[in-house]
Amino acid sequence: MAFHFLNYKNLPISVKKIVLTALAVSVFFILKAYTNHLVNQFNYPFSWLLISLKISIAYLLWVVLTPLVYSMVNILQDNSITIFYKTLKIIIGCIVLAVFHQILSSRIDDFINYLNNGYMKSFLGRNSVTVLVVGSFSSFIELLVIIASFLALDYQKKYIRNQKELIAAQLNALRMQLQPHFLFNTLHSIAAMIDIDTKNAQKMLSKLGGLLRNVLEYDAEQMVMVADELNFIKNYLDLEQVRYQDRVTIDYDISDDILDVKIPNMIFQPLVENAVKYGIMPTIDDGEIAITIKQEHCKTLQENALILQITNTYNSKNTIEKPLGTGVGLVNIRKRLQQFYQNRFVFTSYFQTKELYVARITIPIST
C-alpha cells in the first residue's frame, strides 16, 4: 500500500479545521491535567508550559499523520478486497501508526525534559519501554476515534452529495416536463401569429429567448435568488399573456427587501403553470393571476418566513374541478421542500371560494 505522506487534498475536512480540533482537544486535556493536579494536591508546582507543550505536540502530531490515518479509512471503504485482508491491513496499519506516533511524541517529550532539566532518558530503558507500550495503547485508542470521525464525515459528505444529485435529477425532470409541451404550444402560437400579428410574434420570440436563457444560466443551481426566479416567472407569464391576450390579467405584489433571499430553483414555477393550465386555459372569460412574495412572521415555523403565494380565478361553470393535492406538480413541490427544509415549511393549496384558488409556500428565509 503506497502512502502519500503530505497529501492533504483528499481529506474530508480542511487542515485548518483539523488543527483547530487538535488544539481544542489539547486545551481540554491540559485543563484535565491541571484539575488532576489540584485534586491530588501534589507537592510540586504545576508547569503550564511543559504540560501544554507535551499535550499539544502529541495531538498536533496526529495532524501531521492525518494522511496516513485517512489511508486506513480508505482501506475500510475499499470493496475490492476481502474482509479478512481488509481487517488484517487495518489492524497492522493501526498498530504501526500508534507505535510510530508514540515514539515521536515520547522522544519529543524527552527532548523537552532535557531542555528543562538537562537529563535525557535512555530510549531503550526499562521505564521508557513501559511508557512506550502504555502510550502506544492510548495512541491506538485515539487513532480509532479519529478513523471513526473520518468515516462519519465521509458518509455525511456522500449522503449530502447523493441528496444534491437526487434534487438535481428531479429539477432536470421538472425542466424536461416543462419544456416539451410548453415550447410546442408557444412555437405553435408564434407560427399562427407571424402573418396576423407580426409585432406580437416578435415579442413572443424575444420572451421565449429570455426564458430559455434563464433555464440555461441556472441549470446547475439548486438555490437561486427570488429576483432570478421572479424573472423566470415573468418571462413565462408574459408569453402566456401574449398567447391569451385580453383573457388574462397578471398582478405582482413583491416586497423589495426579499429579492436577494434564496429559494429552491423553479420551486414556484409548477404553481404558476397550474394557474394558467387550470385557471386560464379552460375558461372563455377574463382570468386573473396574482403573485405575492413577501416576508412575514409564521406562527407554525415560529420565525420570520418567506411567503410565496399565487391566486387565480377559476370558472367552475366552464371547467371540471380537480381534486386538490393529487397533481404530480404539487407532489413534486412537497417532496422538494421536504428535501431542502425537512419539516420546516408549510405548503397549502385550496379553494378560497368556488371561483378563487390559492396556493402558498412558506419557507425559512435564506440569504
pLDDT tens digits, residue range 9-65?
A: 778 888 899 999 999 999 999 999 999 989 888 888 888 988 898 899 999 999 999
Write the pLDDT tens digit of every residue in 238-262.
Answer: 877 777 766 788 899 998 889 999 9
Reply yes or no on whether the pLDDT at 365 is more than 80.
yes
Those residues whose C-beta lies under 8 Å from the C-beta of residue 75, and which sit 6 or more positions away, are 1, 81, 86, 89, 90, 93
pLDDT in tens, 92-120: 999 999 999 998 888 888 888 777 776 66
Q: C-alpha cell of 141?
A: 485508542
Nearest partner of 298 among 346, 349, 264, judged by Cα:
346
Comparison of pLDDT for 218 and 295, the residue scoring more: 295
Per-residue pLDDT tens for 148-174? 999 998 888 888 888 777 777 766 665
User: Rounded distance, CA 329 to CA 332, Å?
Assistant: 5
250/288 Cα distance (integer angstroms): 6
CA-nearest of 271, 249, 263 to 350 is 271
Round the average pLDDT of the chain to a whole number and report it. 81
The arithmetic mean of pLDDT across residues 252-279, rounded, is 87
* Separation of alpha carbons 278 and 326, rounded Å: 14
Q: Residue 321 pLDDT more than 90?
A: no
CATH homologous superfamily for 246-364? Histidine kinase-like ATPase, C-terminal domain (3.30.565.10)
Say yes or no to pLDDT of 85 above 70.
Answer: yes
Query: For residue 123, what pLDDT band results from cuts at 50, 70 and 90?
Result: low
What CA–CA distance (Å, rounded) separates 344 from 342?
Answer: 6
Question: What is the pLDDT, as a whole number, of residue 309?
Answer: 95
* C-alpha–C-alpha distance, residues 26 and 46, integer Å: 16
What's the full length of the chain, in residues? 367
- Say yes or no to pLDDT of 2 above 80: no
In the predicted structure, residue 3 carries a pLDDT above the cut 50? no
In the structure, what pLDDT confidence band is assigned to residue 313 with cuts at 50, 70 and 90? confident
Every domain range in the chain assigned CATH 3.30.565.10: 246-364
pLDDT band at 175 (very low <50, low <70, confident <90, very high): low
Summarize pLDDT for 67-76 with one digit per residue, the tens.
Answer: 889 888 888 8
What pLDDT does residue 143 have?
92
pLDDT at 4 over 60: no
In angstroms, the first-to-last Cα distance of the chain is 46
Is pLDDT at 326 greater than 60 in this prediction?
Answer: no
